[in-house]
Amino acid sequence: MHEQELRDKERNLNVKEFDLVEREIQLLILQQTTNAKPAIRKRTGLVRRKLLDKYREDIQYISSPSGITYFLKVFFYV
């Protein structure tokens, strides 16, 4: 009688362990699928290209910079 109870408990434990392993595997699969990088849409950039082409037509040359002052420092070593 005692041996039969022990066998039943052992079977129940085996079934519970199998269920736990199955749940863990399902969680691992779920985590791997949710951690995948999302697909990002690339920008077409057509509007930006049109604006750049428009500005290129208007600009004929680049002017020299204005409002720049130069400072020279002279060091004397004795």
Look at residues 45, 41, 25 and name the one whose alpha carbon lies nearest to residue 33: 25
Q: How many domains does the chain have?
A: 1
Q: What percent of the chain has pLDDT over 70?
A: 72
Task: Look up the pTM and report it.
Answer: 0.41
CA separation, residue 60 to residues 11, 50, 51, 57 (Å) = 88, 17, 16, 7
Q: What is the separation of C-alpha 70 from the centre of its chain, rounded to a whole number of angstroms?
A: 45
Which of the four pLDDT bands, split at 50, 70 and 90, describes residue 63? low
27 inside domain: yes
Which of the four pLDDT bands, split at 50, 70 and 90, describes residue 61? low
16 inside domain: yes
6 inside domain: yes
Which of the four pLDDT bands, split at 50, 70 and 90, describes residue 24? very high
51 inside domain: no
What pLDDT score does 18 carry? Answer: 94
Give the structural domain span for 8. Answer: 1-36
